[in-house]
């Protein structure tokens, strides 16, 4: 299969990658391959080959929300890193799905464009952020995405507008329809003052350093906040700060973060998430929703 992928000449092929090198938790077994298609035509050719040969596949961004298992992922991962075109015209930003979100946030901030300040600490790609409706500080992608170019399951390129994308807290149309692949997003920002925008980003960075365990591998908040409450508060009240399974620990700084403190396995991380979910349900009758995705 690897030879066939290389023969397709659709882009770089990495065989037998360790998923711990491609995820922010730094855990997981190997996959069969990662392919980096160079453009939409090559992406379509790759998808047709994978579907024809019934090969499991998944789009992989920066791996900041995925927990692979310790077993082999017997499929092909597709990274859209080459989809990184950026065009800024006045306050309209047209950007490829593979563009780094933090980099985009800093670039627009320096140009005096406001609206992406919330994203300065989110280590994902634009495509992944649209898919997840990533957000922070009471803002998210749903506030700034006007339209998205997607590849449909039958290989058509269509435009979905904000209203079609069904953005809600940490979810979107794309999350419910993973066969639609985000290729490019158009964002509408506002003119602002560069100094003021950079100040907001710096202040929030400082706050994150003080309140989040950024020195350890993690994937950010593990659970969505239930309505009118905070997942971190519930977990802390259970006495779970510092609790560990193997090398995976509930952070002492922020109870809604699980950190890879001591060579954790994917099983350690997953087991700790499942245990917390069960305990919160048992004690508070609240079903915490896991923000991160388990990939098998």
Tokens of 276: 């917390």
Give the separation between CA 209 and CA 11, rounded to whole angstroms: 38
Query: Residue 294: enclosing H or E segment and its boundaries?
Result: strand 293-295
Which among 121, 80, 79, 82 has a CA at the least distance from the CA of 104? 121
Three-class DSSP category at 248 = strand
Q: Is 204 a catalytic residue?
A: no
Q: Is 81 a catalytic residue?
A: no
Q: Is 110 a catalytic residue?
A: no
Q: From the candidates 81, 221, 251, 270, give the one annotated as an active-site residue.
A: 221
Give the separation between CA 142 and CA 134, rounded to whole angstroms: 9
Cβ atoms of 293 and 66 within 8 Å: the answer is yes
Q: From the candidates 69, 146, 170, 224, give the one annotated as an active-site residue.
A: 170
Tokens of 28: 């997981």
Give the separation between CA 60 and CA 46, rounded to whole angstroms: 15
Strand-pairing partners, residue 159, are 149
Task: Tell me the catalytic residues.
Answer: 170, 221, 291
């Amino acid at each position: 299969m690897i030879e066939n992928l290389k023969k397709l000449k659709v882009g770089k092929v990495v065989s037998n990658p360790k998923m711990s090198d491609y995820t922010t938790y730094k855990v997981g077994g190997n996959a069969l391959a990662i392919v980096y298609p160079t453009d939409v035509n090559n992406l379509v050719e790759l998808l047709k080959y994978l579907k024809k040969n019934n090969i499991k596949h998944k789009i992989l961004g920066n791996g900041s929300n995925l927990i692979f298992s310790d077993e082999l992922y017997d499929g092909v991962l597709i990274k859209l890193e080459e989809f990184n075109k950026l065009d800024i015209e006045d306050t309209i930003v047209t950007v490829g799905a593979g563009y780094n979100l933090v980099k985009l946030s800093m670039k627009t901030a320096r140009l005096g464009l406001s609206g992406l300040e919330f994203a300065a600490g989110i280590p994902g790609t634009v495509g992944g952020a649209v898919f997840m409706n990533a957000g922070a500080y009471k803002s998210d992608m749903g506030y700034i995405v006007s339209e998205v170019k997607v590849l449909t399951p039958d290989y058509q390129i269509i435009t979905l507008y904000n209203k079609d994308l069904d953005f809600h807290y940490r979810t979107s149309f794309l999350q419910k329809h993973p066969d639609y692949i985000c290729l490019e997003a158009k964002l509408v920002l506002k003119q602002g003052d560069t100094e003021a925008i950079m100040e907001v980003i710096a202040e929030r960075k400082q706050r994150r350093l003080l309140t989040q365990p950024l020195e350890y591998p993690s994937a950010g908040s593990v659970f969505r906040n239930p309505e009118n409450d905070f997942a971190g508060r519930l977990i802390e009240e259970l006495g779970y700060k510092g609790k560990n399974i193997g090398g995976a620990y509930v952070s002492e700084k922020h109870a809604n973060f699980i950190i890879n403190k001591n060579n954790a396995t994917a099983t350690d991380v997953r087991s700790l998430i499942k245990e917390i979910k069960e305990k919160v349900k048992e004690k508070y009758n609240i079903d915490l929703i896991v923000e991160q995705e388990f990939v098998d």
